[in-house]
Amino acid sequence: MERTGELTGGAAMAAEQPLGPDDIDFSDPGFWARPLRDREAAFALLRRQRSAPFYAVTENLGAGPGGGGYYLLTRHADVLEVSRRPKVFSSASGIRIADKPESSSRSSTR
């Protein structure tokens, strides 16, 4: 199982040195460049955590009124719950991590 050479950074995913939740940065493009197996293992790990991890935004992600970060929901049940409650979970400030460009200057609820 010599896969560690493909990884960027020091957080190798070999069995003896598993990637911890804090080593997974969802907004780092380098994370998505990793091999499929590593991404699968990383999300499997996140799904087992008790609560959704919080990530601070990097400068190009644009912090909205919620401050500089976001929670990552990785479980199926959480996705169903959030999608079913649009009054609580709004799309109006954008659906990418960064707020949509015009949302700071214009009211988005008509």
Partner 1 sequence: MIEMDDPRHARHRRIVSRAFTPRMIQRFTDDVELTAAGIVDAVADRGSCDFVAEIAARLPLKIICDLMGIDDKDQGFVFERTNRILGAEDPEYAAEPGASGATMLHAANELAALVQELARSRAARPTDDLTSALVNANIDGEKLTWQELASFFVLLVIAGNETTRNAISHGLKLLTEHPDQKALWQSDFERYAPGAVEEIVRVASPVIYMRRSLTQDYETAAGQRFKEHDKVVMVYWSANRDETVFDDPHRFDITRDPNPHVGFGAAGPHFCLGAHLARREITVMFRELFRKLPDIRAAGEPDRLQSNFINGIKRLPCEFTPTSTRTTGS
Among 4, 8, 17, 90, binds partner 1 (CB under 8 A): 90
* 5 lies in the site for partner 1, by CB under 8 A: no
Q: What type of residue is 1?
A: M
Spatial contact of 38 and 13, defined as CB atoms under 8 Å apart = yes
Query: What's the closest the beta carbon of residue 42 comes to partner 1, in angstroms?
Result: 9
Site mask for partner 1 (CB under 8 A), range 44-73, x = bound? x-xx---xx-------x-x-xxxx-xxxxx
How is residue 62 written in tokens? 């644009």
Separation in Å, CA 4 to CA 1, 11, 22: 8, 9, 18
Q: Which helix (H) or strand (E) holds 56?
A: strand 54-56
Binding site for partner 1 (CB under 8 A): 26-29, 31-33, 40, 43-44, 46-47, 51-52, 60, 62, 64-67, 69-98, 100-101, 103, 108-110
